[in-house]
Amino acid sequence: MNKIISSKESKLVSILTSMLKIRIFEERVAKIAENNEIQCPVHLYVGQEAIASSVCANLSAKDFVYSTHRSHGHYLAQGGDIRKIMAEIYCRENGCSRGRGGSMHIIDRNAGFILSSPIVGGSISIAVGSALAAKMAGNAQVSVAFFGDGATDEGVFYESINFATVYNLPMIFVCENNSFSTHLPDFLRQSNTSVADRVKGFNINTKKVDGNNPYEIDDTVSKMIVNARNGEGPSLIECTTYRWLSHVGYWQDLDIGYRKKIDVEHWMSRCPIKFLSNDLIKKGIITKEEFEKMKADIILKIEDAVEYARNCPKPDPSAIMFGLFN
């Protein structure tokens, strides 16, 4: 870059880079799935990139991140290895989970990414366990659980909120409210669709934000994480957003009746990458040329990851029991 920028501006550039990496990665995985190169199902994060990128910009690899079936964005935002996750999606031995987990079972403890779980709400209570361990150890680690609004239909979500609040744990609950649990809209599942409102009775610090606005997410979650590190207990941030693609796969689900093309187009017009890149260019923090180079560099890295994954060995069938607990 041609100008000296502040640490805050540098952070915003990092968030933009992360969002762009996730978007290009997910679009490439969609094409791979469409070409039937992979067998495992993929739940893509396109449209929700601002949340993972803004949250993880405030974390380190020493913190604990827990994810869902829609895990790629969280993993990449937390500094995960592009080659390792691509190899895992291809179910190859060199993948994050040695090819045994596929898209929905991502583990990389070196990046502070403890696990992702395809069970709706399945990782939230485990994240609370990590927060309890951090408090007992007396360190400044923070545990973060990403989950969708569908997970808030589960009893374990409320049990976890209550436990974290009672024991004043360094825990951040990140609800990515994209309005759908698989194909069922929130208003058909909950009388109060605001997750932040629903949990206020647990005496937890909460805030509802625009999940497509990186500034708003970063400003909110950075304060929540500082509070958690300082022993001030858990917080919940509800990020309203929208997934551009189907619940699973590379389609848009416009032919099965649960959402309309006009809604998808509305949310696509609110693209968080377009919003932040245009704003940073307008403010002179980056140039259009720098943004295009950023994109080109990411494309090269992702294409390298695809070729790497294609050439990685498949797991040895004789080692199928490796890593299991008896």
Across the chain, the runs of DSSP E, i.e. the strands, are 64-67, 113-116, 143-148, 171-177, 180-181, 184-185, 205-210, 235-240
- What are the boundaries of each domain within the chain? 7-244+253-311
The model's pLDDT over 87-123, given as tens digits with 9 standing for 90+, comes to 999 999 999 999 889 999 999 999 999 999 999 999 9
Q: What is the mean pLDDT of the chain?
A: 94
Question: Is the pLDDT confidence value at 244 over 80?
Answer: yes
d(CA 77, CA 22): 8
The pLDDT confidence band at residue 2, using thresholds 50, 70 and 90, is low
* Least confident residue range of 82-86, 182-186, 257-261, 264-268: 182-186
**pLDDT over 80 at 326, yes or no:** no
The model's pLDDT over 253-299, given as tens digits with 9 standing for 90+, comes to 888 888 889 999 999 999 999 999 999 999 999 999 999 999 999 99
Region for 233 from its dihedrals, namely left if φ exceeds 0, alpha if ψ lies in -120 to 50, beta otherwise: left
Average pLDDT over residues 66-77: 97
E strand or H helix that includes residue 97: none
Fill in the amino acid letter for 266. Answer: H
Domain 7-244+253-311 adopts which CATH fold?
A: Rossmann fold (3.40.50)
pLDDT of residue 1: 52
If you average pLDDT over residues 47-67, what whole number do you get?
97
pLDDT at 185: 81
Closest CA to 50 of 301, 223, 249, 241: 241
Question: Is pLDDT of 201 > 60?
Answer: yes
Averaged over 167-173, what is the pLDDT?
98
